[in-house]
Structure 1
């Protein structure tokens, strides 16, 4: 070693170390707050910024003007629980044991799953969950606190006890009554209170807020439904697409549409109050805000169903639309999982932009981790990817194809079982009838794909014109990919009867 140079080298090294230390501290302080607002059963075509000519959604429209609106955004599943599990774990829901909603065979979000909340909490974030959990019971199964949320408030499942009395909320494990408020109002109020009262306001935070609206029961305050009582609304509604699913033909339900439209506007107002609170805190410029939905819209369909589920009049107030796409909630066709997706992150995502890149519900975990500088788990399959490039309109590489499954338990509807995307092409598959309806774990472990249809969404949004014979090479290639992907998912899927 040349001793004459050592002092100067040491000085430069120490100076550089000090600089990097300050840089590291600065980066830590600049880590964004992450706010995910998940609506329930909100359709792709339900917001004004997505082309709805009836429903007023000024606050979400403003968010779109301040950030990026995604035209190819998807939930991770086609019903509530699977989508929520995907968002929190970055994994296709059947890998985590969500073959339908939480509950059958004791299914829940297992303790060994690593959630976004846990990752962020371990890296210095304050974490809060408010709203509809629907990933297991609050007693005897891992609750939000067990999955990384410092503070949590909400209901285990749907708020079926009524709009002004959503039943017993649970606050950090303790049941509490919350009367006199609609669901979205109660949870937004709790979220704002938590933000304002955090002990260390300098720490970044993760807020996951899951509304009940516009899930049934659909019963907004009268001031909202009254907005949509006029002949112009009647005329416009007659032009709305409902995913090629027939509305009930044996009874008149069109007078009910005002309740759904009013509920979406009510939800928009609640979201607006949350954003106002973020702005008042001075956190607007340092917050990554994601708004999306857990699946496509609910429909009072006339398809025969074994338990007469669809004859329940409570669904006669469901007037959500998937826009131009085929199918609705529970369908693996586009309308079942293509949902609104709006992201605002000042200085990182250009305001007033539109992205046509595919973003899936499994992507939100790796995306949030990338924004926060947190490592994604490497000891398990993570199906999602960092969507930050997609938010900027850039092409993204997706090693594992985005896919969606039709939930076990609704097999009598004879709908498609699985879909998988490859660019604008989508392959739809059906599981063999011999395994259909055998029950959750047994069905998942035994099911085989035995029929397929290939579509190209760039030329056929209706998904009514299969290309199997027109594109035989692509058909065979994607068929092989889907079979391999399904086999891999089956190997991960837990057997709840042995858990």
Structure 2
């Protein structure tokens, strides 16, 4: 018997082991069947231009009718503390695409200033998502490089920045939003396109969604409107909605961020601004209908927001060296109860509407009071797409998705909004703001000397004077607490200075780069 004991035990052991492997394999297959790999969401970013925090019905505007956007807001989350990446067009757009404070990328002001453009070395949200097999498209105002075919040095186009398909213009519709003539599709001039800018974008995006994309892949679609940037010229059916005595009486309740309005009468123009918002609302609703018709709603995260606060008209005064810009006499956008407008580092310059719908994940009717910045979009999208965020670079964004669910999020570092104004004119204002919980610290550079260039002044300056506001009980930033809460100022100053110096010194010095480029030639 002992001669056979060992072989018998071995056979039994092998049999039991094989049985266990078989059971485990069967169980793993059952688990895999019960827990499929999570489907990657489609992502749409709908970016409006100069839309104020208080310009929508769902954000409390008593005049403007926005039924499409209001319905959309009821289906997802309204963010009460969402901020653009910058306080003016190009910087804000650079921050959305890269997840970085735009000053890191050299966007101190608008594209084109001293050669400013989004360099090919920057990693964009489109490139990140393409690594996860996403198809990508961009429609509308680009404002990050020159898209026209010229004899000048080539600057990266949307194709170079990760977009498979694009239909765009370098700037907004300076000639007017109707029958715009400067659209470029995938590098080729399109010529005049019949219709209004936002409606043309809806048609182009609809065509891409229904006919041109690879429907086996998830997608990223960015739609960037001209509206409600000036010039304004909505169809009469929209502007006529606001040409009545009721609107005239309600207008008295609208706030403009404490920024002085023109002394001359511009009240006859308000219907054009209000009508433009309603036109934009319909264009957005039409795009959402396409999303619904394509059965994309449930698994598509749609982000609706603005690139900065609302534009303000100029109070013409030759003694202050102001220029005449009657086109901006049509600007009736409002930041609600916030202080400041476009360009201003106060809240009204960068706190903007933020509405997100993603039925598969975000409960309808959610309201979130968490601080979110548009630089968070790239990191959030990467997490949802199950791909790594950009590595070995300074990112300022975090995964903000918990905030979309109404949950708390923690930021490792505060965010800075910067605008390098220097003229002793209507736009004289502080130069930066830093949020720290409910506090915002405002910093101001020393005055620029006449023989110093703007870039040299900015690249060598640090804030020297400060003001402090507590947004929890003073959202309009009326009471400067710098003297009464000096300990908080002293706590926050080194944090702001450390962040500013890091950002300032990382950003390219365009004038020196241009000189170096010329010397090589």
Relative to 1, partners in 2 of residues 1:124 and 1:297: Cα closer, same or farther, differing over 3 Å?
A: same
- Report the Cα offset of residue 353 of structure 1: 1.6
Q: Is the 8 A contact 2:448 2:454 kept in 1?
A: no
**Aligned in 2, Cα 1:306/1:292: closer, same or farther, shift over 3 Å?**
farther
How far did 1:377 drift? 1.2
8 Å CA contact 1:408–1:437 kept in 2: the answer is: no
Report the secondary structure of 2:372's partner residue.
coil
Contact 1:82/1:99 (<8 A) preserved = yes
Task: Return 351-360 or 300-309, whichever deviates more.
Answer: 300-309
For 1:99, the equivalent position in structure 2 comes to: 108
**Counterpart contact for 1:45–1:52, Cα < 8 Å:** yes
The count of residues paired between Structure 1 and Structure 2 equals 496
Change (3 A) 1:4 1:330: same
Specify which of 22, 34, 57 is matched with residue 43 of structure 2.
34
Consecutive unaligned residues of structure 2, counting only runs of 5 or more, are 1-9, 514-521
**Distance in 2 of aligned mates of 1:306 and 1:366:** 47
Instruction: Output the CA distance in 1 between the equivalents of 2:133 and 2:423.
Output: 42
Question: Are the counterparts in 2 of residues 77 and 295 from structure 1 also a CA contact under 8 Å?
Answer: yes
| 1:337 aligns to 2:328 (yes or no) | no
Q: Is 1:120 the counterpart of 2:133 in the alignment?
A: no
Q: So what's the TM-score if we normalise by structure 1? A: 0.95
- What secondary structure is seen at the aligned counterpart in 2 of 1:449? coil
Contact 1:99 1:440 in 2 (8 A): no
Distance 2:423 2:380 in 1: 32
Alignment of 1:274-423 (within 5 A): 274-302=287-315, 311-407=324-420, 412=425, 413-423=427-437
Q: The residue matched to 2:338 in structure 1 has which SS?
A: coil
Rg larger for = 2
Shift in Å, 1:162:
2.1
Does structure 2 conserve the Cα–Cα contact (< 8 Å) formed by 1:78 and 1:330? yes
Against the structure 1 CA distance between its residues 9 and 311, is the aligned structure 2 distance closer, same or farther, given a 3 Å change threshold?
farther
Q: 1:399-425 CA deviation, whole Å, 9 max, x = no partner?
A: 121220014576753211000001111
Aligned-partner Cα distance in 1 for 2:193–2:294: 28
Q: Which moved more, 1:283-292 or 1:376-385?
A: 376-385
CA RMSD of aligned residues (A): 2.2
The 1:403–1:130 alpha-carbon spacing in structure 2 relative to 1, beyond 3 Å, is same
Name the CA distance, whole Å, in 1 between partners of 2:318 and 2:415.
Answer: 29
What is the CA distance between 1:84 and its match in structure 2? 0.4
Cα distance per residue 1:287-336 (max 9 Å; x no partner): 00000000000011327699966531000000000000000000000100
Query: Which residue number in structure 2 is paired with residue 46 of structure 1?
Result: 55
Is contact 1:77-1:405 (8 Å) kept?
A: yes
CA contact (8 A) 1:104 1:440 kept: no
Name 1:87's counterpart in structure 2.
Answer: 96
In the alignment, structure 1 residue 136 sits paired with structure 2 residue 149: no
1:475 match: 489
Specify whether residues 305 and 37 from structure 1 end up closer, same or farther in structure 2 by C-alpha distance, changes over 3 A only. Answer: farther
Q: Distance in 2 between matches of 1:82 and 1:267?
A: 23
Separation of aligned partners in 2, 1:22 and 1:310: 67
Gaps of 5+ in 1: none
